[in-house]
Amino acid sequence: MKWLKKIFISSVILPGIFLLALFLNYNFVSEEAASKIVYHIDSLQPVKVGLVLGTSKYSVSGTINSFYKNRIDAALQLYEAGKVDYLIVSGDNRHASYNEPRFMMQDLIEAGVPADRIVQDYAGFRTFDSMVRAKKVFMLDSVILISQVFHLERALFIAQRYNLKAIGFAADFPDSEAAFKVVVREYFARIRMMLDLYILKTEPHFLGEEIPVLPNDSV
């Protein structure tokens, strides 16, 4: 009977504990961030800098990624409404052929945002990197984060741990099968985040010299 007990523990109990941990961790992060997410632009107080969290411009099928498009649209709304003066576009540029910040900057310029109001963060390989670099490289004390809600919740959690005063502006969430897969991945991303923050004491891939976005007399 011992072997039946071992099978039961390994196939039922342990997976159940893992799934419970995934669920509890996900909801804990969501609850921590809930009060810091704004859905209507009129409810936002102006902040000097907005930070657009990167994602691929194109889906696997070659069409425009709705997550990407909606984040660009949200960033444009903020700028046009005078809620931010500058936009940091932070994303992955790990390879010469893949450059999220460049795509974001190009699309924002085409939409009417002046180039000198956009700062590219080429080392935002992960959300964790983007948030830490916002504080330590771009020298921000406050920022409006731009992404979908599930993503903002994790970014805001990281920002709080690094004493970065952040508010999230929620971009529209796509209604698609791909969107469901992204949210499923978020459960595991939040586990990785906790390991980064509290166990591994992870540092960003690159920090480098400080690059202040704002003049010294700006607040």
Q: What is the pLDDT along the chain (219 residues), one digit of tens a residue?
A: 565 555 545 565 666 788 889 999 999 999 999 999 999 999 999 999 999 999 999 988 889 999 999 999 999 999 999 999 999 999 998 776 789 999 999 999 999 999 999 999 999 999 999 999 999 999 999 999 999 999 999 999 999 999 999 999 999 998 776 678 888 999 999 999 999 999 999 999 999 899 999 876 454
Q: What is the distance between the alpha carbons of residues 195 and 175, in angstroms, rounded to a whole number?
A: 30
**H-helix or E-strand spanning residue 120:** strand 118-121
Q: By the 8 A CB rule, do 177 and 60 touch?
A: no
Residue 4: predicted pLDDT: 52
- pLDDT value, residue 37: 98
> Around Cβ 51, how many Cβ atoms within 10 Å?
33
Q: What φ, ψ does residue 217 adopt, rounded to 5°? A: -90, 5
Q: Is 89 helix (H, G, I), strand (E, B) or coil?
A: strand
The reported pLDDT for the residue numbered 216 is 65
Distance CA 58, CA 64 (A): 5
Other CB atoms within 10 A of residue 136 CB: 16
Residue 49 has a pLDDT of: 98
pTM for the full predicted model: 0.90
For the domain made up of 2-199, the CATH class stated in words is: alpha beta
How deeply is 33 buried, as exposed, middle or buried, from its count of CB atoms within 10 A (0-12, 13-18, 19+)?
buried
Give the per-residue pLDDT at 149.
Answer: 97
